[in-house]
Amino acid sequence: MKMHIQLKEKYEKDIRLNMAKVSGNHMNVPRLEKIVVNMGTGDRLRDKNTKGKIINDLAAITGQVPKVQKARISVAGFGIREGMPVGLSTTLRRDRMYHFLDRLVSVVLPRIRDFRGVPAKSFDGAGNYTLGIFEHTVFPEIDLAKVDKPHGLEITLVIRNSNPKKSKELLTELGMPFEKIDN
């Protein structure tokens, strides 16, 4: 539990101050606002036995109970009607956000097979970073014996006052391991 506090303090005392010196304006320094974790489940949320397992898995990963996302429109090709549950979502802020980021960077990403870094091209125009993880079983909170089918996750780091270049600099300082591109 102490590590995420250290990450938050590192941002407040070191990273933010250094970036403010470079930009000349402490109000313009990028900061991590929230982390949104989404899990697409398809029709698995409709089965009562599986629904509880999936919700408990995402709650264990994020530290809070996820919200069930429902389909906004009907898509006949996928057999989805408006209002059907299709995924789970949770938004992390403040201390939980830093705790999750610290575990992601120091524990989860190194556990991924053949991991060479996260892609540096996953920034949107506003500087937010989205990372996809193919199997939720890489998180140490998940008991592999109880998982019948692994699910993918989408993790979005929402960064305020930023652009892709400044966001990458901030995430690098926070310990995000970006892939090295050899030319």
Residues 33-55 pLDDT 10s: 899 998 887 777 777 777 778 88
Answer whether residue 37 is part of any domain. Answer: yes
Question: Is 13's pLDDT higher than 60?
Answer: yes
pLDDT band at 92 (very low <50, low <70, confident <90, very high): very high
Could you give the percent of the chain with pLDDT greater than 70? 90
| Calpha distance 124→103 (Å, rounded) | 24
Answer whether residue 183 is part of any domain. Answer: no
Answer whether residue 180 is part of any domain. Answer: no
Domain of 54, CATH number, reads 3.30.1440.10
Cβ–Cβ < 8 Å for 80, 86: yes
Answer whether residue 30 is part of any domain. Answer: yes
Answer whether residue 68 is part of any domain. Answer: yes
For residue 20, how many C-alpha atoms fall within 13 Å in the half-sphere facing its CB?
Answer: 11
Segments forming the whole domain that contains residue 29: 2-173
Residues 66-77 pLDDT 10s: 888 787 777 777
Answer whether residue 57 is part of any domain. Answer: yes
Strand partners, 37: 90, 155
Answer whether residue 99 is part of any domain. Answer: yes
CB atoms under 10 Å from CB of 156, counted, come to: 17
**DSSP string computed for 93-147:** -HHHHHHHHHHIIIIIHHHSTT---B-TT-B-TTS-EEEEES-GGGSTTS-GGG-
Domain count, the chain: 1
pLDDT band at 1 (very low <50, low <70, confident <90, very high): very low
Among 39, 35, 37, which residue's Cα sits nearest to residue 151? Answer: 39
pTM for the complete prediction?
Answer: 0.81
Residues 121-164 pLDDT 10s: 888 888 888 988 887 777 878 777 777 777 888 999 998 877 88
Answer whether residue 11 is part of any domain. Answer: yes
Q: What is the pLDDT of residue 4?
A: 52
